[in-house]
Amino acid sequence: MDNRDEVKAFLSSRRARISPEQAGLSSYSRNRRVPGLRRSEVADLAGVSVEYYAQLERGNLAGASDSVLDALARALRLDEAEQQHLADLARAAGPGGRARRKPSARQVRPSVTRVLDLMTGIPAFVGNGRGDVLAANALARALYAPMFGNSTGTANHARFGFLDPGARTFWRDWDRIASDTVAMMRTEAGRDPYDKALTDLVGELCTRSEDFRIRWAAHDVRLHRTGVKQFRHPVVGDLDLNFESLQLTEDPGLTMTLLSAPAGSAGDDALRLLASWAATGGGLPVHPAAVTPPPL
């Protein structure tokens, strides 16, 4: 498989977003036909010839040294996620790129599942770079009830987020969640361009969702380690939860995500209520805040 198109699109999109002023160029032509830096300006900033940079941007990253990749990262002002993505693209472009990456784990080990089950006070689940949820504890299933309830197979964040109309109510910050989801999938595609399941999922979502297609074309990448998620749950209403995502080092490609709220907070109270609802198999009345549309 050739990743030249991906390399070309990523480098050109990063170049287009940087203005000469942002790059620290004191002298440049004001008459510019395209946004961002010119190839010659990136080459100068990276300390390589214009011809060589043009070759790189045409998609030929094979053989690019670490020092060249570092110089490109500085010239294009890449963040940590983008630097890792560039390195992944170069690795995949080189000889034996496919063999250098261990395939993602397909199943969750019983010991990890046991750990999830023992976490009764917080939602916790294990997923992969495609957004599949491979294992989840009872509280995570209760929290993500709309996603699990509407899934005919393995629950998937991207399918739910872009194809289920209820996702825009469930996620109070849907736009950010949608962009983060696509950026994480783009990151995964750089790490493993041979993942057929991911390729199929991207094709499905590009065909069925314009929102996904627009975001996918932006070539943004992101690391998903920690932050806040804002829910509008059909049972307990609005709650804000902190999340931490931990790589399972013995299981390539799998991540455990833990969600929590500060002790005594409204989110903590909502989680306790949600745990009680899950323990009784459901049956609590729907929280009014969950069905009342947000103010305009």
* Selection from 28, 60, 11 nearest residue 219 by Cα: 11
Where the chain has pLDDT below 50, the residues are: 99-100, 283-296
Q: pLDDT at position 19, please?
A: 86
142 shares a domain with 286:
yes
70 shares a domain with 138:
no
Q: pLDDT at position 86, please?
A: 96
189 shares a domain with 57:
no
Q: How far is CA 104 from CA 131, 255, 275, 287, in A?
A: 13, 11, 32, 39
CATH number for the domain harbouring residue 36: 1.10.260.40
Q: How far is CA 197 from CA 97, 129, 152, 200, in A?
A: 19, 11, 16, 5
Q: pLDDT at position 94, please?
A: 77
Q: Tell me phi and psi for residue 244, to 5 degrees.
A: -130, 130
Domain that residue 65 falls in: 4-93
Q: pLDDT at position 30, please?
A: 64
Structure tokens of 178?
A: 């949608």
Domain count, the chain: 2
149 shares a domain with 60:
no
Q: How far is CA 202 from CA 3, 196, 216, in A?
A: 15, 10, 8
Dihedral of the CA atoms 166, 169, 170, 176 (nearest 10)? 110
116 shares a domain with 86:
no
Residue 249 lies in a domain: yes
146 shares a domain with 14:
no
The residue type of 226 is T
Residues 225-274 have pLDDT tens digits of 999 999 999 999 999 999 999 999 999 889 999 999 999 999 999 999 99
147 shares a domain with 21:
no
How would you list the strands of the sheet with 255-260, edge to edge?
133-136, 124-127, 255-260, 237-247, 226-233
17 shares a domain with 120:
no
Residue 99 lies in a domain: no
286 shares a domain with 163:
yes
Say which residues have a Cβ less than 8 Å from residue 291's Cβ, sequence separation at least 6: 234
Decide if 206 contacts 213 (C-beta within 8 A).
Answer: yes
Mark which of 40, 64, 93 sits at the end of a domain: 93
Q: pLDDT at position 281, please?
A: 73
Q: Tell me phi and psi for residue 241, to 5 degrees.
A: -125, 140
Residue 218 lies in a domain: yes
Residue 101 lies in a domain: no
Residue 102 lies in a domain: no
